[in-house]
Structure 1
Amino acid sequence: MELSIRRETLWLSEVVRSSRRRIDSVGTCMVTLTHDGITAYGEGTPSEYDGVTADDVVAALDAEGAVVLGRDLGDPDAALDRIARWNAPAGARMALDGAVHDWIGKAAGAPTWKLAGAPRTLGPTVYTLSMTDPEETVDAVRRAPAVGAFKVKVGGPGDLDALEAIRAVTTLPVRVDANGAWDFQTARALTPHLRRLGIQLIEQPFPVSACDDYHRYREVSQRLPVFLDEGCTDVASVLAASLYADGIVVKLCKAGGIRSARQVMEAGQRSRLGIMISCQCESELGISQAAQLAPLADHIDLDGHFYLKQPPFLGLALDHGRIVLGDAPGLGVVPARDVKVSPR
């Protein structure tokens, strides 16, 4: 068994703005696992909610990743269980979990999604629009990939103007994500306008600690569904979420990989919560890991790879707003350096 680990910077094609920050690049961790002559890959993204960095993810993998994996993958399920129990940053668990899932498919000579009995083509995904002025927002809509819906970052004084402008140029479904920037009064005042514009749902409208605002918003007449992102990170937080939200946002970088994220999604389903599978800005490798769980989700928010200047992995496609998984063995993506470009 060989395990190599590297930190990588993913540069974005444009600045992404939310109520919390502006970014033009993100750090991530890539692992390469080689066993029985099979090379597999996994990506682990640091969660932005707990202050963990890509360097922290790399350090955890350097220190204990090989030990957690074990000496071989004769029993991959046991390895995945060890990874899920590992007391390490979720991004480190995500990377190892992804590599093992990639290895399982490659060892079987089949796409991982096919082994799981999942479809190759997923439901419509979104494209996220940064928080900016209406003119720039409309321009972003027109430049966006041919997705099936939009998610709009909100949390500023121009929210309604931007949403009005978006609705004037597209009939696609629209969701909003406040990243905790609203208070109850703002949400209550905006709700009639959001309904008029056909907004589907609100993601994390209030800060995690503002439980009273969530409970008060549940009493608002004709309110919109509320999905928690920062407010729901693992199985333990699902039960609390069910008391004041309508759905949860599941990310592998929060849950710790495919296996742990599946457990979060199943807990959400038992609590009768809506499920959104989502991501950070990640390469097609990380997106393909999350996409294995898309059949369990009510909403698909897997767009992080659309923003990258130089994608380190390739293999996903987009067809009429739907992500199409690769048909190669494993997770179906390959390092971009291995893709041969035909001369013109």
Structure 2
Amino acid sequence: MEVSVRRTTLRLLATFRSSRLAYDSTDTCIVTIVHGGVEGRGEGTPAWAHGETVEEVIEAVAGEGAEILGPDLSDPDEVLDRVAEWKAPVGARMALDGAVHDWLGRNAGQPTWRLFGVPRTLAQPTGYTIGIASVEETLEVVANAPDVGAFKMKVRSAEDLDRLVAVRAVTSRPIRIDANEAWSFETARDLTPRLRDLDIQLIEQPFLAGAVGNYRRYRELPDRLPVFLDESCTDVASVHAAQGLADGVVVKLAKSGGVRATRRVMEAARQLGLSVMLSCNCESELALSQAALLAPLADRIDIDSQFLLRDPPFRGLGLDQGRIVLGDAPGLGVVAAQEERPAVEAGPGSNAGS
């Protein structure tokens, strides 16, 4: 089993802003495994919200990745369980898990989604995220947006109401909002009637993850918005904690650590009657194709970072009437957009990275 890892930088078409941060590029990790002459690639995004760094992801994969995978992939379920339970950065688990899923498809000469019985065209239309900007800039983004099924607008305060009003005036598509923990209970209470008037579909993470009392108080309001937890929900235990606080959860590979671990989170949420939104961080089409393997378990899809990237390193995803269409290449379905840089061999004493 050969394992290598490298850093790659994803550059955005424009600076993206939320209530939490602003950025125009982000780093991710690409892991390549080779077994039996067949290659598999996976992407792992550091869980930045929990303080993870690219360097930590690279160090974990370089130092322990080959040992965690084992000598062969004859029992992929056992391998994927080991990866999911590995005490390593989330990004490292996500990348190894993705590489195994890519290898499985390539080894069979088929797209992995076909092996897993996932429809090539996802059943639910995807959302499209719009960062915080002026009213004019926001309307320009809406006018140039791909043909998606919904808009998700980042918000910070009552000052964003003008943006929501302007967007609702030009589109009948569903609008979801995401405060990224920026609101107080009073802000949510005071804005809810206006948001209802604008037919806002739901709100993601209005309050701090630890502000349990605010979530309980908001649930008691008449005619409140449905609440989905994002930052609060990372694993099965946090899904159980979400019961009684929210109507749904937002799941991401970069929070839970890959397809296998995220599947467990989604299954737990569904068993508890919580709605599930499958989402992403700023990732390439390689990572998004990993996430898409879980689409049948999702009630809503928010796989959209491919629309935000300049010179994406992988290509293969399509869009049909708002629905993501998966690539047909063997493995995860995507191909490298250009020749990749040489990777660094990962093993004991390796100094992987770039």
TM-score (norm 1): 0.97
Given that residues 133 and 158 in structure 1 are in contact (C-alpha distance below 8 angstroms), is that contact kept between their aligned partners in structure 2?
no
Residue 223 of structure 2 corresponds to which residue in structure 1? Answer: 222
Residue 348 of structure 2 corresponds to which residue in structure 1? Answer: none
- What secondary structure, in the 3-state scheme, does the structure 1 residue paired with 2:338 have? helix
- What secondary structure, in the 3-state scheme, does the structure 1 residue paired with 2:147 have? coil
Pair 1:307-2:308 in alignment: yes
Given that residues 114 and 120 in structure 1 are in contact (C-alpha distance below 8 angstroms), is that contact kept between their aligned partners in structure 2?
yes
CA–CA separation in structure 2 for the residues paired with 1:166 and 1:2: 50
Residue 52 of structure 2 corresponds to which residue in structure 1? Answer: 52
- What secondary structure, in the 3-state scheme, does the structure 1 residue paired with 2:327 have? coil
Given that residues 102 and 112 in structure 2 are in contact (C-alpha distance below 8 angstroms), is that contact kept between their aligned partners in structure 1?
yes
CA–CA separation in structure 2 for the residues paired with 1:167 and 1:118: 34
Q: Residue 307 of structure 1: CA displacement?
A: 0.9
Residue 342 of structure 1 corresponds to which residue in structure 2? Answer: none
CA–CA separation in structure 2 for the residues paired with 1:223 and 1:320: 30
Q: Residue 129 of structure 1: CA displacement?
A: 0.5
* Equivalent residue pairs, number: 339
Q: Which amino acid aligns with 2:296?
A: P
Deviation string 1:194-226 (CA, Å, 9 cap, x unpaired) is 111111100000001111110000001000100
CA–CA separation in structure 2 for the residues paired with 1:83 and 1:278: 21
Deviation string 1:263-316 (CA, Å, 9 cap, x unpaired) is 000000011000000000000000000011011101101111211111111111
- What secondary structure, in the 3-state scheme, does the structure 2 residue paired with 1:105 have? helix
Q: Which runs of 4+ in 1 moved over 6 A?
A: none
Residue 345 of structure 2 corresponds to which residue in structure 1? Answer: none
Pair 1:43-2:47 in alignment: no
Deviation string 1:225-264 (CA, Å, 9 cap, x unpaired) is 0000001110111111012111000000111100010000
Q: Residue 48 of structure 1: CA displacement?
A: 2.3
Q: Which amino acid aligns with 2:334?
A: V
Residue 346 of structure 2 corresponds to which residue in structure 1? Answer: none
Given that residues 251 and 279 in structure 1 are in contact (C-alpha distance below 8 angstroms), is that contact kept between their aligned partners in structure 2?
yes
Residue 268 of structure 1 corresponds to which residue in structure 2? Answer: 269
- What secondary structure, in the 3-state scheme, does the structure 2 residue paired with 1:209 have? coil
Identity over aligned pairs, percent: 61
Q: Residue 328 of structure 1: CA displacement?
A: 1.8
Stretch deviating more after TM superposition (216-225 or 189-198) = 189-198
**Residues 78-93 of structure 1 aligned to structure 2 (within 5 Å):** 78-93=78-93
Pair 1:113-2:113 in alignment: yes
- What secondary structure, in the 3-state scheme, does the structure 2 residue paired with 1:63 have? helix
Q: Residue 36 of structure 1: CA displacement?
A: 1.1
Q: Which amino acid aligns with 2:216?
A: H
Residue 257 of structure 2 corresponds to which residue in structure 1? Answer: 256
Residue 298 of structure 1 corresponds to which residue in structure 2? Answer: 299
- What secondary structure, in the 3-state scheme, does the structure 2 residue paired with 1:7 have? strand
Structure 2 stretches lacking a partner, 5+ long: 341-354
Cα RMSD for the two superposed structures: 1.1
**Residues 1-344 of structure 1 aligned to structure 2 (within 5 Å):** 1-122=1-122, 123-337=124-338
Deviation string 1:21-69 (CA, Å, 9 cap, x unpaired) is 1011111000111111111110000112201011211111111111111
Q: Which amino acid aligns with 1:330?
A: G
CA–CA separation in structure 2 for the residues paired with 1:132 and 1:316: 27
Given that residues 126 and 150 in structure 1 are in contact (C-alpha distance below 8 angstroms), is that contact kept between their aligned partners in structure 2?
yes
Deviation string 1:312-342 (CA, Å, 9 cap, x unpaired) is 1111101111100011221101111169xxx
Q: Which amino acid aligns with 2:338?
A: R
CA–CA separation in structure 1 for the residues paired with 2:79 and 2:314: 25
Q: Residue 117 of structure 1: CA displacement?
A: 1.2
Given that residues 315 and 334 in structure 1 are in contact (C-alpha distance below 8 angstroms), is that contact kept between their aligned partners in structure 2?
yes
Given that residues 43 and 94 in structure 1 are in contact (C-alpha distance below 8 angstroms), is that contact kept between their aligned partners in structure 2?
yes
Deviation string 1:126-178 (CA, Å, 9 cap, x unpaired) is 11001122111111101111111100000134211000001111111110000
CA–CA separation in structure 2 for the residues paired with 1:98 and 1:304: 17
CA–CA separation in structure 1 for the residues paired with 2:53 and 2:18: 19
CA–CA separation in structure 2 for the residues paired with 1:157 and 1:84: 40
Stretch deviating more after TM superposition (218-227 or 141-150) = 141-150
Given that residues 12 and 25 in structure 1 are in contact (C-alpha distance below 8 angstroms), is that contact kept between their aligned partners in structure 2?
yes
- What secondary structure, in the 3-state scheme, does the structure 1 residue paired with 2:223 have? coil
Q: Which amino acid aligns with 1:108?
A: A
Given that residues 157 and 187 in structure 2 are in contact (C-alpha distance below 8 angstroms), is that contact kept between their aligned partners in structure 1?
no
